[in-house]
């Protein structure tokens, strides 16, 4: 088997801003302290946990992360038990392309070999009870959620299952590689939906976020081709306030026509959105720029999911 290797890491803890260690809070918190899985304490990590001499295996199919964005350290998402290399070339080589996410040793087994629809549930209690870790996709209607889901599993129509009558308002579980779930949640912000129905979806989606003990992270989809919408900001704010681990997936990053799309390019909208949600979080949440047309960000999302999942499984 071919193994790709990460750059060799220095074996000391580096502290760029002061002589004290860097303390970064992670988003790997258990959403609900009453949930069945033992709640994890707030994770503070400043210690080196990667052995400097051992190379990290990454999926043979995925390209090595490419340097892409220059981001200050405080804007990076650092997974737990991850050493932050302080020399710039090493650090940038470990940031997933088009994201603020540092790659950790947990980023293994990221590829999707098998995907199947399992069930639609209207209540959290009815969701699968096999204890497998899961990631929930949520976003405004038309944000590109179905397209992203199909792109992640490389199946043209898998997400159509969620669009069948009666299932659009459900929690739809798709089992991946028989070992984890992608969960498609109802889109929000339908202008035409009756108010009572909207309230109802909100109630059960929030209940799911707060009580689903196997939820590793919510993936909040935001359309990067247009300026931020109030409802998206409210959603991000609610997740932040409730300490629900969240990754922002910026969709439609291939749409680059400034004038047509509200005057700004995707990367400008991405920056604006982060500025706007800055106050809701103690540390920068992870984010990735994607396009279901070009498959930009697809492998990066899967690597990020793998590192969150593998860490979650181990703790």
Instruction: Please answer whether residues 3 and 57 qualify as being in contact, where contact means their C-beta atoms are separated by less than 8 angstroms.
Output: yes
Stretch in the footprint of ligand GDP (CB under 6 A) among 6-14, 31-39, 246-254, 306-314: 246-254
Whichever of 109 and 254 has its CB closer to ligand GDP, that residue is 254
Burial level of 219, CB count in 10 A (0-12/13-18/19+)? Answer: buried
Whichever of 30 and 147 has its CB closer to ligand GDP, that residue is 147
Instruction: Please answer whether residues 284 and 246 qualify as being in contact, where contact means their C-beta atoms are separated by less than 8 angstroms.
Output: no
Site for ligand GDP contains 26 (CB under 6 A): no
Whichever of 199 and 293 has its CB closer to ligand GDP, that residue is 293
Site for ligand GDP contains 146 (CB under 6 A): yes
Would you state the structure tokens that stand for residue 187, as one six-digit string?
Answer: 């889109």
Number of residues that bind ligand GDP (CB under 6 A): 16
**Rg of the chain's alpha carbons, rounded to an integer?**
19
Site for ligand GDP contains 267 (CB under 6 A): no
Q: Which residue is nearest to ligand GDP (CB)?
A: 144
Task: Please report how close the Cβ of residue 117 comes to ligand GDP at its closest, in angstroms.
Answer: 15
Site for ligand GDP contains 207 (CB under 6 A): no
Whichever of 76 and 159 has its CB closer to ligand GDP, that residue is 159
CA distances to 147, 204, 211 from 124, in Å: 25, 7, 7
Site for ligand GDP contains 251 (CB under 6 A): yes
Binding ligand GDP (rule: CB under 6 A), the pick from 291, 299, 303, 310 is 291
What's the gap between Cα 249 and its chain centre? 7
Whichever of 298 and 309 has its CB closer to ligand GDP, that residue is 298
Site for ligand GDP contains 254 (CB under 6 A): yes
Stretch in the footprint of ligand GDP (CB under 6 A) among 88-96, 109-117, 127-135, 285-293: 285-293
Stretch in the footprint of ligand GDP (CB under 6 A) among 63-71, 110-118, 141-149, 298-306: 141-149
Output DSSP code: residue 290.
-
**Terminal-residue alpha carbon distance, the chain:** 28
Question: How far apart (Å, rounded) are the C-alpha atoms in residues 151 and 132?
Answer: 22
Q: In what order do the strands lie in the sheet with 171-176?
A: 115-121, 171-176, 180-184, 134-139, 215-223, 246-251, 287-289
Site for ligand GDP contains 261 (CB under 6 A): no
Instruction: Please answer whether residues 289 and 298 qualify as being in contact, where contact means their C-beta atoms are separated by less than 8 angstroms.
Output: no
Q: Where along the sequence are the contacts to ligand GDP (CB under 6 A)?
A: 139, 141-147, 187, 251-252, 254-255, 291-293
């Amino acid at each position: 088997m071919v193994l790709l290797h990460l750059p060799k890491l220095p074996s000391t803890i580096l502290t760029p801003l002061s002589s004290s260690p860097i303390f970064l809070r992670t988003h790997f918190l258990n959403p609900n302290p009453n949930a069945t899985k033992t709640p994890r304490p707030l994770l503070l990590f400043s210690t080196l946990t990667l052995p400097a001499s051992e190379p990290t295996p990454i999926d043979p199919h995925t390209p090595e992360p490419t340097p892409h964005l220059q981001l200050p350290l405080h804007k990076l998402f650092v997974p737990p038990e991850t050493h932050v290399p302080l020399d710039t070339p090493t650090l940038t080589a470990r940031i997933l392309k088009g994201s603020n996410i540092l790659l950790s040793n947990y980023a293994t087994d990221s590829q999707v070999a098998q995907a199947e629809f399992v069930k639609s549930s209207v209540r959290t209690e009815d969701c699968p009870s096999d204890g497998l870790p899961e990631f929930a996709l949520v976003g405004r209607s038309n944000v590109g959620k179905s397209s992203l889901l199909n792109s992640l599993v490389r199946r043209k129509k898998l997400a159509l299952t969620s669009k069948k009558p009666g299932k659009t308002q459900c929690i739809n579980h798709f089992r991946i590689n028989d070992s984890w779930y992608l969960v498609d949640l109802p889109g929000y912000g339908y202008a035409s939906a009756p108010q009572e129905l909207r309230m109802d979806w909100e109630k059960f989606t929030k209940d799911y976020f707060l009580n689903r003990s196997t939820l590793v992270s919510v993936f909040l989809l935001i359309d990067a081709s247009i300026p931020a919408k109030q409802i998206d900001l409210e959603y991000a704010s609610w997740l932040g306030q409730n300490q629900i681990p969240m990754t922002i997936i910026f969709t439609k990053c291939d749409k680059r026509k400034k004038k047509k799309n509200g005057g700004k390019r995707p990367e400008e909208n991405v920056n604006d959105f982060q500025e706007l949600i800055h106050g809701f979080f103690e540390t920068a949440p992870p984010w990735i720029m994607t396009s279901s047309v070009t498959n930009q960000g697809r492998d990066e999302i899967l690597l990020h999911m793998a590192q969150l999942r593998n860490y979650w499984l181990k703790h």
